[in-house]
Structure formats: C-alpha cells, structure tokens
Homo-oligomer: A and B are copies of this chain.
C-alpha cells in the first residue's frame, strides 16, 4: 500500500478523516516532552498519549522499550494506530516501535519540524541510535499516512527552519535548475509558513518519487545521499570536538563540498556552484576546518554506512537534476575539494 501524503493547514480535520478511514481498534499518540507541551494541545484527537524524553540522545533502546511497553499496557493490537507527532526523533523511533510491535502495527506521521517534514517523516526509514552510531538499528516501514503542515512551524527557531531548508536545497539540486532557482530566491530570513507549504510540497514529492522507485535503498535512493557523505563527516567531527552543529547546517556545507567534487569530476556548472556557495555562506555561515582536519574527515567518510570496502562513496551531479550515484572519490580529490570549499567559504 502506497504511503499517502497529505499537505494541509487543517491537521485536525485530516487526522479525523484518517481515523475514520483506517477504523483502528484503538489510537495511540506519541510525542516527546517538547511536542507534548507545545503541539499536543493544538491537536484535537482522543488517544492514549505516550511521551518520550526529547532530544537525539534519547532516540535509543530505552525510549523504544518505553513505547513498546505503553502500547502493550494500553492493549494495542495489530489493528491499532500509532500517531507520531514530532520531529525526526519521534517519527523515526515511533515508526520503528510500530513496525516491530506484534510484527507490525500501522502508524501515521505528523512532522512538527521542517526537517522532519522534508526528510524523516517520509520514505519509510525508521530507526534508533545504538552503540554510539546514528540509526544503527532500524527497519524500512512506511507510515500509512503522512500529514504535512506548516502550521506547527511558527514557534520553531530559525536554526531548525534553516536545517530543514538545507534538505530542500538538496531536493532542488536533484530535480533541476528551475526548482533550485526558486529556492535560492526564497526569502529565508522571512520564512512565511503559508508560502513555504508550496515549496515544501514540491520538495517532499521529489523524495517520494525517488523512494517509490527504490524503497530499500538498493540503488537510486542513494541519490538522496547528496551532500551527506561530507555532511555526516562534518557533523561527526564537530560533535567529537565538542562544538556540535545542526544536521541541516552540516548538510548545507556538505552540499557545497560535493558540488565542488561534481564540478571537478563531472563538469557541474561553476555558476551554480558559486550561487550555492554564496547562499550557504550567507545563511548558514562557515564550518571552519584546516588541513589538519582532513585525515580525520576522510576516515569518517570511509566509515559511512553507505561506503563499501573502505572507499569514499558520494552521490554527485553532472548538472542540476543529472544525478550519479555510487561515485568513488579518491582521497586526493577529496582533499582538493575540501581546499576549494575553504576558498569558497573564505576560510
């Protein structure tokens, strides 16, 4: 059964329709402490509430067991429905809890952050962190419905909105220059939830189209990895150094570096690269690295979940919308790309 995507500004009406349509034997609603306080009061739905601690550090086996236990104690069956109301932690963990409870109950995602809406809530990847590695344990399991609205975003900090927007930039680059241009001209300092819904819809549908063609990440889906081989390395390195950066910011800097590689290796247009670098520098600032960080970064890239046999593996672009997956990048080329990244950022 295909995942239904619903773009709306009337979440309550859509949830009522879903419950009527799926006629579950019972309804459970998962939030974290933050979304329970900020968002749950806005949602008019009778359900058994399950509340987990907020933050990526709680996206773990303890919280997962807490959700399983609450479902069990609440008498959930395979015909029940779990509604995940929150950011990526809630939809990833809630999705895994539902996918494994009695070998699978249905769930609905209602992302409350831009990053969640554009990335985690759609596409069937669920998971928790384990043994210090992100999303080490998980399953591919699609929500029956994903209700996407910008109405919850008004209280989000700018950092969070920009994080989500970085994934939208990625989707724009994967689609074509028209959509990418529209995003570059979007006023990121004056994000209005109403205007955002159109662009968000376009962006989510890019991801949906790719996922439909490759649900279990055997090939094409790795297109969505654009910016992430370098981005994850930046993110992990920053975390290790005690100066964590938001995921989306790391992706933005990763996109710049991987577009440099795309230019070096497949003639990705330098004008587009320049536009991207200028936009990222203005809105996301600079992730400052020196040559001394290169070895560490390269080691992190070799340990990426998608790498094989210790090679560095990237998704690159010959042009906007012209995607090449599984490109092996030599350490020398990566070092050169990091040099050029630093030039572009003025480091």
Contact = CB atoms under 8 A, between A and B. Distances in A.
Given A25-B308, A77-B308, A100 B102 contact: no
Contacts of A72: 130-131, 133, 136
**A interface secondary structure, majority:** mixed
A137 B68 contact: yes
Contact of A103 (B73, B133, B140): B140
A147 to B, nearest CB: 24
Interface in A3-30: 25
Interface residues of A, number: 34
A133 B75 CA distance: 12
A140 B104 contact: yes
B308 A100 contact: no
Contact of A131 (B68, B77, B103): B68
A69 interface: yes
Contacts of A25: 308-309
21 contacts: A25-B308, A25-B309, A69-B131, A72-B130, A72-B136, A77-B308, A79-B308, A96-B100, A100-B137, A100-B139, A101-B136, A102-B136, A102-B137, A102-B138, A103-B125, A103-B135, A103-B138, A103-B217, A104-B140, A104-B216, A139-B139
